[in-house]
Amino acid sequence: MKYIIIGLGNYGHVLAEELSALGHEVIGADISTSRVESLKDKVAASFVIDATDEQALSVLPLKNVDVVIVAIGENFGASIRVTALLKQKQVKHIYARAIDPVHRSVLEAFGLERILTPEADAARGLVHLLEFGGNMETFQVDAEYYVVKFTIPQKFVGYFVNELKLEEEFRLKIVALKREETVKNCLGISCREHKVVSELPENCKMQEGDQLVCYGRYDDFQKFWKAW
């Protein structure tokens, strides 16, 4: 795929570098010569331009790429103006980075395809890592709702599923329970892997290593984790 990334600070730089390493065609643009210079050998093309200037922005092949990503973060005014200019030029697929709720709210008014919140996502990811180690995976459905898979803490072991009161008290819906089983691979060697429990009666007792997959609001997940 082809991408244009406008704003080559820390976030935009890593984004451009990683996409390019995966074989995508990346065009980078920034007002800073040093930022562009540091990336020019790693992307297909790079431009030193003030993207808030409509004429300068026209230098970029906006209609010939799959996605234009506005990675500008700290300069709120520049981020909004560049996004507005892209909409004015009828760029179809625009992603834009938001660094706080106000920034996000303004960007939402443009009806963008996607608003990126890397700082918030990274902070939440670190909280999950600190609290649960590497035993949690999250999928964000929208601004409020998540699907979360987590290995149950040791303190859950021995409780019945209904005793956790996930739905009654915390409005979290259990999507699935995965439980470790001993299976044989294609070589006939025994190994352990998690399998979905096809039926989940309320009197199902939690076992060590069980994984729960739940759906609900992020705020309700926080309340659940704090309560336990």
CA distance 22 to 36: 20
Residue-wise pLDDT for 47-59, tens only, equals 999 999 999 999 9
CB atoms within 10 A of CB 178: 17
Q: Which pLDDT does position 75 carry in this prediction? A: 94
Q: Which residue has the higher pLDDT, 73 or 42?
A: 42
Residue-wise pLDDT for 59-79, tens only, equals 999 999 999 999 998 899 999
How far is C-alpha 57 from the chain's CA centre? 28
Q: Which pLDDT does position 76 carry in this prediction? A: 94
List the single range of 7-11, 49-53, 150-154 with lowest mean pLDDT.
150-154
Q: Is the pLDDT of residue 192 over 80?
A: no
188-211: average pLDDT:
80
List the single range of 5-14, 24-33, 124-133 with lowest mean pLDDT.
124-133
7-26: average pLDDT:
94
C-alpha closest to that of 30 among 83, 61, 72: 72
Q: Which pLDDT does position 44 carry in this prediction? A: 96
Confidence of residue 136 (pLDDT cuts 50, 70, 90): confident
Domains of the chain, with CATH numbers? 2-116 (3.40.50.720), 121-227 (3.30.70.1450)
Q: Which pLDDT does position 134 carry in this prediction? A: 59
Amino acid letter, 161: V
Q: Is the pLDDT of residue 17 over 90?
A: yes
Residue-wise pLDDT for 75-91, tens only, equals 999 999 999 999 999 99
Q: What is the CA radius of gyration of the chain?
A: 23
- Compute CA distances 175 → 147, 148, 169, 197, whole Å: 9, 9, 17, 11
CB atoms within 10 A of CB 34: 10
**Which of 104-108, 140-144, 163-167, 188-192 has the highest average model confidence (pLDDT)?**
104-108
Q: Is the pLDDT of residue 171 over 70?
A: yes
Q: Which pLDDT does position 133 carry in this prediction? A: 62
Instruction: Indicate whether this model's pTM tops 0.85.
Output: no
